Copies of this chain bind each other. A is one copy, B any other.
Amino acid sequence: MGHAATLPRNEEGIATVVGILKQQFGERLQTGHSIREQHGHTTTWIENQLPDAVVFAQSTQEVSDIVKACAAHKVPVIAYGTGTSLEGHVNAPAGGISVDLSQMDQVLEVNAGDLDCRVQPGVTREALNTHLRDQGLFFPIDPGATASLGGMTATRASGTNAVRYGTMKDNVLSLEAVMPDGAVIRTASRARKSSAGYDLTRLMVGSEGTLGMITEITLRLQGIPEAISAARCSFPSVEVASKTVMAVIQYGLPVARIELMDAQLVKAVNAYSKLSLPETPLLLLEFHGSEAGVAEQAETFGMLAEEEGGTGYEATATLEERNKLWQARHDAYWAMIQACPGRKGIATDVCVPISRFAEAVTAAEAKATEMNLFAPIVGHAGDGNFHASIMIDMEDADEVARAGAFVSWLNELAISMDGTCTGEHGIGQGKRPYLIKELGAGTVGIMGAIKSAIDPDNIMNPGKILPE
């Protein structure tokens, strides 16, 4: 399954560049099969396409040297962070050089007074938050995986608290990148806002390594909230849960997280975590603010949920109790795996206007059942974004084909609702067929014109985002 067409390889150029880089990088250039396989690998069902060599870069200057060598010989160059992307983003369909940035893992600067920091791309979000904790600061964006901040920037990632703190596009102030000719640019100053020319920061955020390689990121930070509270509530249907979400958003309640789990996922979690939640749709919430503020928020939510028909409302402000309340969500992934031993979970990622969220989730549940697929759903309900995790027996060709048809159907459903085929995972290889369906040939044509202008030889992560 997947859309991993092979592209023509520039054998001579690749051999030349591997030779040049071997001289400069010695043991930091690797060509063994298993390391190459690992660097083509992502959390995906798309076939693995190996790069020809992996180089471990340690500085912007080294990245620039690598890109210059690749540019001189028209050889593909692909950034690699932690390999947690989901749509074949680090595959090498035309071979080339994988640049592993995991050793560029320094927090270069924290400006507590400005609530910002500057990091290298290999810093993971967990490492950054560990680094910041003593200063009472945190970086809010939290994709499920132990992702690197470079990768999160490149895919315009978000996670459970985007409803309050936005996505990477809202939290990157500026970045440094090595462009396809090896030149190093910085996209913006450190001012919190600017109207100085084209917004190259936002152009690079989400460009998936196809326009340049990100070598530094200046991020907005948040103060750790004085108080955090959590709440949980069950609902008779996805529709009623979604109505509650809309009421919360319209009320202006500044929820930090509002996550939906569908009935089959709650059932799986009950089995895995020995819980006894009602096996109906569940909303889990988190509130950030002052002591009084989070108490008021939780109370207001309880009132809105009850008005709409929620039951079993619980709220708490203590850490231990919060973890218990949220256990269902934290255990969701492992519960699905246990429910389906030997199967691989493939996550969809559509996002629709919130008013269509209930309809989309309900239709997805019905369609999966109709197609005899097990695909429990978690949703970042405040954004209209949800993931159906299709649990697939990869040995069962018919099931794999049905799963493929389901993904395709779901992407097109979201597009028909004026939504997107990807809320936070990116296009990569897997979603390329949907980009034109979503945005039209004219819009994608403008993207192609930008790509050609900036990377005329198509060396930066070729075969991603744009159709051939």
Contacts of A442 in B (CB 8 A): 179, 183-185
Q: Which residues of B contact A349 (CB under 8 A)?
A: 195
**Out of B190, B250, B427, which one reaches A353, CB within 8 Å?**
B190
Binds B, one of A3-11, A21-29, A317-325, A416-424: A416-424
Q: Residue A415 at the B interface, CB < 8 A? A: yes
A147 to nearest B CB, angstroms? Answer: 13
Contact between A199 and B203, CB atoms less than 8 A apart: yes
Does any Cβ of B come within 8 Å of A114's Cβ? yes
Chain B's closest residue to A300 (CB) is B290
Q: Nearest-CB distance from A427 to chain B (Å)?
A: 6
Please determine whether B454 and A196 come into contact, CB atoms closer than 8 angstroms: no
Contact with B along A174-187 (1 / 0, CB 8 A): 00000100011111
Closest Cβ–Cβ distance, residue A440 to chain B (whole Å): 7
Query: A435: which B residues are within 8 A, CB to CB?
Result: 196-197
Q: This chain: how many copies in the complex?
A: 2
Partner of A223 from B206, B250, B300 at Cβ < 8 Å: B250
Question: How far apart are A181's CB and chain B's nearest CB, in angstroms?
Answer: 9
Q: Does A48 contact B (CB under 8 A)?
A: no
Residues in B with CB closer than 8 Å to A415 are 189
Nearest CB in chain B to that of A415: its residue? B189
Please tell me if the beta carbons of A420 and B200 are within 8 angstroms of each other in the complex: no
Complex alpha-carbon distance, A423 and B222, angstroms: 21
Q: Is the CB of A167 within 8 A of B193?
A: yes
A354 at the interface (CB under 8 A from B): yes
- From A196, A207, A355, A439, residue with most partner B Cβ within 10 Å: A196
Which residues of B have CB within 8 Å of A450?
Answer: 198, 203, 450, 453-454
Number of A residues contacting the other chain (C-beta, 8 Å)?
95
Distance from A301 Cβ to chain B, minimum over Cβ atoms (Å): 12
* Cβ-closest chain B residue relative to A170: B170
- A249 at the binding interface (Cβ < 8 Å): yes
Complex partner residue of A292 from B156, B166, B292, CB under 8 angstroms: B292
Tell me, yes or no, whether A194 is within 8 Å of chain B by CB: yes
Interface string of A220-255 (1 = CB under 8 A from B): 001101100000000000000000001001111010
Q: Which residues of chain B come closer than 8 Å to A353, judged between CB atoms?
A: 111, 113-114, 116, 190-192
A259 to B184, CA, bound (A): 37
**Given A249-B115, A252-B225, A447-B197, does the pair A191, B425 have CB atoms closer than 8 Å?**
no
A183 to B440 alpha-carbon distance, docked (Å): 11
Instruction: State in angstroms the CA–CA spacing of A293 and B254 once bound together.
Output: 12
Distance of A415 from chain B, by nearest CB (Å)? 7
Other contacts beyond A191-B351, A191-B420: 5, CB < 8 A: A193-B351, A195-B420, A195-B427, A198-B211, A199-B203
Interface residues of A (CB under 8 A from B): 111-116, 155-158, 162, 166-167, 169-170, 179, 183-200, 202-203, 205-207, 211, 222-223, 225-226, 246, 249-252, 254, 290, 292-293, 296, 300, 349, 351-355, 383-385, 414-415, 418-427, 431, 434-435, 438-440, 442-444, 446-447, 449-454, 465-466
Q: Which 9 A-B pairs have the closest CB atoms?
A: A202-B202, A453-B453, A113-B355, A194-B420, A223-B252, A191-B351, A190-B418, A185-B442, A156-B195
